[in-house]
A and B are shown apart, each in its own frame.
Chain A
Amino acid sequence: MNLAVSTPWGLAGLLLVLLPLFTSGMQASATPWLALMPADRLSSFIDAGLRLCAMTVIAALVLGMAGLHRTEQSLERIGHGAHVVLLLDRSSSMDNSFAGRAPNANNDGKDAEESKSGAARRLLTDFVKHRETGLIGVAEYSTSPLFVMPLTENKTAVQAAISATATPALGFTHVSKGLGMALSFFQQQSVTGSRIVLLVSDGAAVIDHDSEQKLREWFKQQQVRLYWIFLRTANSPGIFDKPEDSRDDNAQAMPELYLHKFFLSLGSPYQAYEAESPDALKQAIADINQLENLPMHYFERIPKQDLSATCYRVAGLLLLVLLAVKFCEVKR
């Protein structure tokens, strides 16, 4: 019961509660001296009751006006869910379709092809909508990482961040900085449920040695699971491709393969999905939704409860009593 009022100075009105202590609220009758009357227990009970009634009416009115409410509470619960950071690629190529074309170009009267970022946006919005418990945050990266939305329960906020990726994409792919940003989301969070970084990208980049070291360390410290949804453009190298020529077997020529190898070597749980179409992307997201439901502690928020209506109801009812009693008053 954490009670609070919205306008504390309004409580000064509570002083009025004292009024019924001084007067009976009845017209003085012509009986000369009360002491002449024999003491009557019932009468004093009724008198005290009526005064109490009036005091309660005044107190309830004042509390109602001051805006009495129960503050927002959080209830600890155990459920299934995860803390998910969506790490989205904002590099320019994301605005192309899976076939590697700019959408709307040359579609011969057929439906326009969906861009990779468009498909990701649509399916991730859906993903967010269907997560029941847990927190979701959003980070983006192109040449530099962008902090977009902290881990939050507010799905509208996450969806606003996802739909803002409809604005044109930015620059290059600098995945290590993006991963660093995503991992930093978990720094002040207690470890509960599963912690996931969901990387959605259509390309990879070489990670330099220093960043590699740091990422290894952070992944281990934060106990984060990594999912990589690779949006593969037609005819481009994939994650699982083996180099045909041994001369191409290096990080510069096949950054996707090498990034995949690096993720495998992290030692923390890692799963890669290669999506070549919106349907494959949908499948990958559904998979993750299924997998990531470990037991976790979470706090259910119980919003603030307005109690002023109750106050007014009490006041109204007791006022009715007072008025009824008033009609019973004997007058001579």
Chain B
Amino acid sequence: MTHRLKDYRLWCLLFALIAMLVLFIIPSKKQKSPTYNYTFIIDITRSMNATDYQQDNQAVSRLSFVKQTLRDLLRDLPCQSKVGIGLFTERRSTLLFEPLEVCSAYTEIDTVISKIDWRMAWAADSNIAKGLLSTLDMLKKSDSSVIFITDGQEAPPVNVNYQADFSGLRGQVKGMIIGVGGLQTVPIPKFNSQGEQTGFYKPEDVPHRSSFGQSTLAPSQIKGYNARNAPFGNDVVTGNEHLTALQETYLEKLSAESGLGYARLADLQSLALALKNSKLATEKLVQTDIRWQWALLTLLMISLVYLPGIYQYHRFFR
């Protein structure tokens, strides 16, 4: 008996069997892991057609870059995270579907993102502050984080007297504004009713100032002022509203007012980092499979039993 107990192999086998028993008794443990719940609201106004992103050495539009990045991001999200998709145009957004679990509905979400098109826009204005306000109002009851993806190009320009007031919603909704586009101005492509590009928007195609409500200037300062017929004067206003660039300071201001975070979309890594770093994650208890740990221990033990003893070969080294 003493001989038998001296054999280390016996102990190894016993230990291996115990590890196997533990494997069957405690196959998994609860582990905290972050999951996410995002509702992406994607700006599909015309300025999102401007091509100032590069992908595989080809210029791509802001919208297609956003779509590609979101599809890549979808693959990165851990299971049990949820993603919903909505579209923004005019002065509000619509939800295509409520947040869905990413692993079970991956194909569906991916297909929907790939089908997003600027022609889904039901109206052509792009009033971002109002859109953001109505989106936050629409989603304030959901527990999803709003990720508002836009280039910040207001069209027509906003009259500073009539700005959106976020004070009522501040802090009720968590989320981020993601700025899209380059800082250099680029022209906005113009399409005909068949969806073919017919050049770019020209200065005479777009309004360069707001003509809504009352002017911010006193009537005496407005050239050609007429209270009824020309409340903004009769000057021809020219500007750069036919060109577009990422209005970063404007979006940062909006994000500060609405209590959302802000990040610029440069590539997948930076977006993923911005979305995962912020306080948007919820820790969920997820059952994690730990059987491999016990199996590894067993494997180690059984390998020890069959490890060729060095003493068998020492004659080769002599």
Interface residue from A58, A146, A154, A322 paired with B108 (Cβ < 8 Å) = A154
Interface residue from B10, B112, B292 paired with A148 (Cβ < 8 Å) = B112
What residue of chain A has the Cβ atom nearest to residue B20's Cβ?
Answer: A316
Quick one: given A167-B95, A168-B138, A319-B298, are A326 and B122 in contact (CB under 8 Å)?
no
Residues of B within 8 A of A332 (CB): 3
Quick one: given A156-B105, A160-B97, A326-B13, are A145 and B306 in contact (CB under 8 Å)?
no
Q: Does chain B have a CB within 8 A of A171?
A: yes
Chain A nearest CB from B106 CB (Å) reads 10
Contact B299 A61 (CB under 8 A): yes
Q: Does chain B have a CB within 8 A of A222?
A: no
Contact A27 B7 (CB under 8 A): yes
Interchain CA distance A19-B24 in the complex, whole Å = 26
Contact A323 B4 (CB under 8 A): no
Contact B94 A167 (CB under 8 A): yes
Residues of A within 8 A of B92 (CB): 168
Contact A150 B112 (CB under 8 A): yes
Interchain CA distance A206-B305 in the complex, whole Å = 84
Residues of A within 8 A of B303 (CB): 16, 19, 58
Mark each residue of chain B from 81 to 110: 1 if its CB lies under 8 Å from any CB of chain A, else 0. 000101100001011111111001101100
Interchain CA distance A232-B226 in the complex, whole Å = 48
Interface residue from A148, A150, A170 paired with B122 (Cβ < 8 Å) = A170
Residues of B within 8 A of A157 (CB): 97, 100, 105, 108
Quick one: given A62-B299, A154-B105, A157-B105, are A146 and B120 in contact (CB under 8 Å)?
yes
Interchain CA distance A25-B141 in the complex, whole Å = 66
Interface of chain B: mostly helix, strand, loop or mixed: helix
Interface residue from A62, A146, A170, A316 paired with B24 (Cβ < 8 Å) = A316
Quick one: given A148-B112, A323-B13, A332-B3, are A22 and B97 in contact (CB under 8 Å)?
no
What residue of chain A has the Cβ atom nearest to residue B309's Cβ?
Answer: A23
Interchain CA distance A256-B220 in the complex, whole Å = 54
Q: Does chain B have a CB within 8 A of A64?
A: yes
Interchain CA distance A123-B92 in the complex, whole Å = 27
Residues of A within 8 A of B23 (CB): 312, 316
Residues of A within 8 A of B183 (CB): none
Q: Does chain A have a CB within 8 A of B213?
A: no
By the criterion of a CB under 8 Å from any partner CB, how many residues of chain A are at the interface?
Answer: 52
By the criterion of a CB under 8 Å from any partner CB, how many residues of chain B are at the interface?
Answer: 54
Chain A nearest CB from B188 CB (Å) reads 19
Chain A nearest CB from B273 CB (Å) reads 26
Chain B nearest CB from A144 CB (Å) reads 5
Which residues in chain B, 178-225, are within 8 Å of chain A measured between CB atoms?
Answer: none
Contact A150 B291 (CB under 8 A): no
Mark each residue of chain B from 37 to 48: 1 if its CB lies under 8 Å from any CB of chain A, else 0. 000000000000
Contact B14 A171 (CB under 8 A): no
Q: Does chain A have a CB within 8 A of B119?
A: yes
Q: Does chain A have a CB within 8 A of B60?
A: no
Contact A312 B120 (CB under 8 A): no
Q: Does chain A have a CB within 8 A of B59?
A: no
Contact B122 A144 (CB under 8 A): yes
Residues of A within 8 A of B292 (CB): 64-65
What residue of chain A has the Cβ atom nearest to residue B16's Cβ?
Answer: A319
What residue of chain B has the Cβ atom nearest to residue A55's Cβ?
Answer: B306
Q: Does chain A have a CB within 8 A of B121?
A: yes
Chain B nearest CB from A62 CB (Å) reads 7
Chain A nearest CB from B2 CB (Å) reads 9
Interchain CA distance A148-B312 in the complex, whole Å = 71
Contact A167 B307 (CB under 8 A): no
Chain B nearest CB from A282 CB (Å) reads 23
Q: Does chain B have a CB within 8 A of A13?
A: yes
Chain B nearest CB from A51 CB (Å) reads 9
Q: Does chain A have a CB within 8 A of B318?
A: no
Chain B nearest CB from A292 CB (Å) reads 22
Contact B17 A323 (CB under 8 A): yes
Quick one: given A161-B97, A170-B94, are A319 and B120 in contact (CB under 8 Å)?
no
Residues of A within 8 A of B3 (CB): 331-332
Mark each residue of chain A from 123 to 146: 1 if its CB lies under 8 Å from any CB of chain B, else 0. 000000000000000000011111
Mark each residue of chain B from 133 to 155: 1 if its CB lies under 8 Å from any CB of chain A, else 0. 00000100000000000000000
Q: Does chain A have a CB within 8 A of B26?
A: no
5 contacts between A and B (CB under 8 A): A16-B299, A146-B120, A164-B84, A171-B123, A323-B14
Interface, chain A (partner B; CB < 8 A): 13, 16, 19-20, 22-23, 25-28, 54, 57-58, 61-62, 64-65, 90, 142-150, 152, 154, 156-157, 160-161, 163-164, 167-168, 170-171, 308, 312, 315-316, 319-320, 322-323, 326-327, 329, 331-332
Query: Told that A19-B306, A25-B9, A147-B96 touch, could you supply 9 new A-B pairs with CB distance under 8 A?
Result: A25-B305, A57-B302, A160-B97, A164-B95, A167-B94, A171-B123, A315-B298, A323-B14, A331-B7
The 8 closest A-B pairs by CB, nearest first: A331-B3, A147-B115, A19-B306, A161-B97, A143-B122, A164-B95, A316-B20, A160-B98
